[in-house]
Amino acid sequence: MRILVTGATGFVGGHLIKRLLDERHEVHVLTRPATDLGIFGNDLDRIVSHRHHGTTKNMIDLVKRAQPDAAIHLASLFLGEHQSENIDDLIQSNVLLSTQLVEAMAVNDIELLINVGTSWQHYEDDDYNPVNLYAATKQAFRSILRYYVEVAALKVITLELFDTFGPNDRRGKLFALLDRIRESGDKLSMSPGDQQIDPVYIDDVSEAFVVALNRLRTGLVRNEEVYSIRSSTPIPLRELVAVYEEVTGSTLNIEWGGRPYRTREVMMPWSRGETLSGWSPKVSIREGIEIITRSNV
């Protein structure tokens, strides 16, 4: 298939692009003018890049040029806690850009879309209760998407992602922090650590997109289907760090309870979402940490 991907240079996007190329798909990516595609190395000559300059007309034109069979929409701005000055960027990235994409798909008669949501749309296991403004903007686009499903015959699979982890993660998330203090010996103040998290290894996440893409191309999807991409074996943060210490043979200088839980901290992850048929996680947390550790040597 010819597939247009947004957010290609992010952690999930970078791994997914490599998987799609391995599957022999023709990959087109939507980028901003300043985007550096150097992370793809020798694969760069196998990727077609389309620069998006921010307007809806430009989006319509580039989708017309690409003529994809399907689009995978990964681009978003994640902020765990926003400041007032972040409002414009959150709406621009998570609502406006997303709407421009589906408008361009509708104008150009492109029907197949994989959208990305977040488990943080389900605080306290509710059908909808946003943990933060980021989650609220993801839900706002879902409401807009419903319109395009109804009037433009879009066929959509939305994958709600949980925590993701794996090698070459430049996001500065948990394992990057643990790697840093393991090497430096610095003290890290953390919450009490009783919150349960449900991390999914990046190769398993990429596999979920491939399974969803195959489902879309069968014609079984009639409007929008929503699936949770989770391990289903959540683990308390303290225990996850203990596994990391065991795998790496280290003792970390962590001050548990050194900072409070965040506002609306997720203590138990969303548990009631539907599982994508034909997909299940294969890599355990321990196995994933072992892979990350070997890749950093």
Find out whether 162 and 229 touch, Cβ atoms under 8 Å: yes
User: Tokens representing 117?
Assistant: 């949501």
Q: Tell the residue number behind the tokens 């003018």, with chain if given.
A: 33
Q: Tell the residue number behind the tokens 């609220």, with chain if given.
A: 136
- Whether the per-residue pLDDT at 158 is higher than 60: the answer is yes
Name the percent of the chain in helix, strand, coil, to the closest 5.
45, 20, 35
- Whether the per-residue pLDDT at 39 is higher than 90: the answer is no
Q: Which amino acid is at 65?
A: R
Instruction: Please report which confidence band the pLDDT of residue 40 belongs to, taking 50, 70 and 90 as the band edges.
Output: confident
- If you ran DSSP here, which 8-state letter would residue 122 be given? B
For residue 52, the model assigns a pLDDT of 95
Strands 188-190 vs 112-118: parallel, antiparallel or unpaired:
unpaired
Find out whether 236 and 195 touch, Cβ atoms under 8 Å: yes
Which residues, other chains included, contact 198 with Cβ-Cβ below 8 Å and sequence gap of 6+?
119, 162, 163, 230, 231, 232, 233, 234, 235, 269
- Whether the per-residue pLDDT at 239 is higher than 70: the answer is yes
* Mean pLDDT across 57-73: 98
pTM recorded for the entire structure: 0.95
Cα–Cα–Cα angle for 129, 15, 235, nearest 5°? Answer: 45
Q: What are phi and psi of 59, to 5 degrees?
A: -65, -45
- If you ran DSSP here, which 8-state letter would residue 171 be given? S
**SS3 label, residue 52:** coil
Query: Of all residues in the chain, what percent carry a pLDDT higher than 90?
Result: 90
* Mean pLDDT across 77-91: 96
Question: What's the CA gap between 3 and 5, in Å, rounded?
Answer: 6
pLDDT tens digits, one per residue of 244-260: 999 999 999 999 999 99
* Mean pLDDT across 23-40: 88
* Mean pLDDT across 34-61: 90
Domains, the chain, ordered by start: 2-164+199-229 (3.40.50.720), 166-198+233-269+283-295 (3.90.25.10)
Question: What's the CA gap between 200 and 132, in Å, rounded?
Answer: 21
Burial classification of residue 103, based on how many CB atoms lie within 10 Å of its CB (0-12 exposed, 13-18 middle, 19 or more buried): middle
For residue 294, the model assigns a pLDDT of 87
- Whether the per-residue pLDDT at 297 is higher than 60: the answer is no
- Whether the per-residue pLDDT at 118 is higher than 80: the answer is yes
Find out whether 119 and 73 touch, Cβ atoms under 8 Å: no
Find out whether 175 and 248 touch, Cβ atoms under 8 Å: no
Neighbouring C-alpha atoms within 13 Å toward the C-beta of 14: 18
Question: What's the CA gap between 137 and 200, in Å, rounded?
Answer: 23
Instruction: Please report which confidence band the pLDDT of residue 185 belongs to, taking 50, 70 and 90 as the band edges.
Output: very high
Task: Identify which of 117, 41, 106 has the alpha carbon closest to the alpha carbon of residue 73.
Answer: 117
* Mean pLDDT across 33-59: 89
Query: Of all residues in the chain, what percent carry a pLDDT higher than 70?
Result: 99
* Mean pLDDT across 67-86: 96
